[in-house]
Amino acid sequence: MYATNSEIRFMLTGRIVLSKYRLQATMFVLVAFMLGCNEFMVVGILSDIANHLHVSIAAVGYLVTIFATVYAISTPFITVLTSKFNRRKTLLALIAIFLVGNTLSGVATNYWFMMLSRIISASVSGAIISLVMTFATVIAPIQKRAGLVSWIFAGFSIASVFGVPIGTTISTTYGWRYAFFAVSVITIIIFILLIWILPRNVKQVQGSIGGQLSLLKDPRIYIAIILVMFTAATMYAYYTYIRPLLTTGMGFSTGSLNILLFVIGIMSILSNRWSGYIAENGGLNKMPKYYIADIVLLVLLPVGLHSKVIGFGIVLILSLIVTLLNSPIQLHFLNTAERDYPQSMVLASSLSSIFFNFGISLGSATASILVGVVGVDKISLGSAIYALIALGLIIVLNRAIRNGKVNQAKVSE
């Protein structure tokens, strides 16, 4: 049998649509990679920046804190205020501002200039990834949403695993400024390709600022954002001091740190892919058992530190499961907004990144306090407490979601 002309055209159209979707999905992951490089790369080149700008390494370290704080605070304001504008044009404009901020970091001549450039980059980074998540719900078929969201999150992990070492190598070989310039080149390429592949006419539901913020009154949302914060705190209450945990705690040599951190990073990438699978198969209902596993492992970690194999094994398993919430909770925010608060789609897509950054601040501050009180080998006990709180929150959230479905069913009847 031979295919008719109409069947051939249908197959060709389908292949073109699929190819375009794959290109769009790849670009969205690259955007996350770009943002991740800009945010995390500073960690690897702190010493180089400090030496050239003639400031202490502690002062440069504050750039990381300032970035996370500005990121968390500015994102909801920008997403709400720009929601009435065309999303395609808004995303391109924000990426252009990001490009300016990142490039200014590369040409910074003093500490305050560098701080200003980091504030510019941070102020738009959250809104950029929020819009990317919103576009992801538009271009992805419903059955592919979880997978695409997990890959976008993986873009940040890839930046941590590969982008940071590459940036460090560039800094060591050519100078730290060229590490920022490399990100600028990537940004320009992404910007040009996005002009071509971003959907031009995306359906938008506009609403007042109050209408958009009404999303936050829903218990399915405000419980979820607190859950995100305590999940991030669970991770960073021990991960902030991962290097001394590996060296002082487990006894690994400083020379082996790069390969150990690389393996941990690979586990984070696998975690993002597993997170997407969970989102497609049970979602938030599957999460309580992973929080129970977190609690057990975090309580056992101080004992496990006496053995390199056991201690590092616990850290690897934690790296695999501690952020499995990412994709299920992001889909929960997006699907709830799409169904019940369409005017708040962009705000909903930003909630995870906003409160994850607040959780980073909470967790790192807790770790810093506990190091002075109980020592680096027991800081995971603070993480265990946050994991216990998160376990309670996920149980309450699942109950709120079930109640919401019951109420919707009664209304429809």
Q: What is the pLDDT of residues 304-334, one digit of tens each?
A: 998 999 999 999 999 999 889 988 998 999 8
- Cα gap 108→72, rounded to integer Å: 24
C-alpha span between 228 and 124 (Å, rounded)? 21
Q: What is the pLDDT of residue 64?
A: 75
pLDDT of residue 75: 86
Residue 411: pLDDT band (50, 70, 90) is: very low
- Model confidence over 355-384: pLDDT tens digits? 888 888 888 888 888 888 888 889 999 999
- What CA–CA distance (Å, rounded) separates 272 from 323? 8
Instruction: Calculate the alpha carbon distances from 158 to 32, 128, 270 in Å.
Output: 9, 18, 10
Tallying the residues shown for the chain, one arrives at: 413
Predicted local distance difference test score (pLDDT) of residue 197: 85
pLDDT tens, 279-296? Answer: 888 889 999 999 999 999
Domains of the chain (ranges, CATH numbers): 9-204 (1.20.1250.20), 205-405 (1.20.1250.20)
Amino acid residing at 14: G
Rg (CA), the chain: 22
Q: Are 140 and 352 in contact (CB under 8 A)?
A: no
Distance CA 159, CA 167 (A): 10
CA 354 – CA 228 distance, rounded (Å): 9
Please determine, for residue 169, whether its predicted confidence score (pLDDT) is greater than 60. Answer: yes
In angstroms, the CA 190 to CA 206 distance is 28
Token readout for 106 is 């590369």
> Both ends of the chain: CA-CA distance in Å?
50
User: What b/e string do you get for 148-182 counting C-beta neighbours within 10 Å, with b at 16 or more?
Assistant: bbbbbbbbbbbbbbbbbbbbbebbeeeebbbbbbb
Q: How far apart are CA 219 and CA 124, in angstroms?
A: 28
d(CA 306, CA 366): 23
List, in order, residues 6 or more apart from 244 with CB less than 8 Å away: 376
For 224-279, how does the pLDDT look when each residue is reduced to its tens digit (9 = 90+)?
999 999 999 999 888 878 878 888 889 988 788 778 888 888 898 899 889 989 98
- With a CB cutoff of 8 Å and minimum separation 6, the contacts of 377 are 245, 248, 249, 302, 305
Residue 70 CA to residue 358 CA, distance in Å, equals: 10
- Strand, coil or helix: what is 335? helix
Instruction: Write down the mean pLDDT value for the chain.
Output: 85
Q: Which long-range contacts (CB under 8 A, 24 or more apart) does 51-58 make?
A: 52/176, 53/108, 53/110, 53/111, 53/114, 55/111
pLDDT tens sequence across 62-108:
787 788 888 888 888 888 888 778 888 999 999 999 999 999 999 99
Split at pLDDT 50, 70, 90, the class of 15 is low
283: left (phi over 0), alpha (psi -120 to 50) or beta: left
How buried is residue 206: exposed, middle or buried, by Cβ count under 10 Å (0-12/13-18/19+)?
exposed
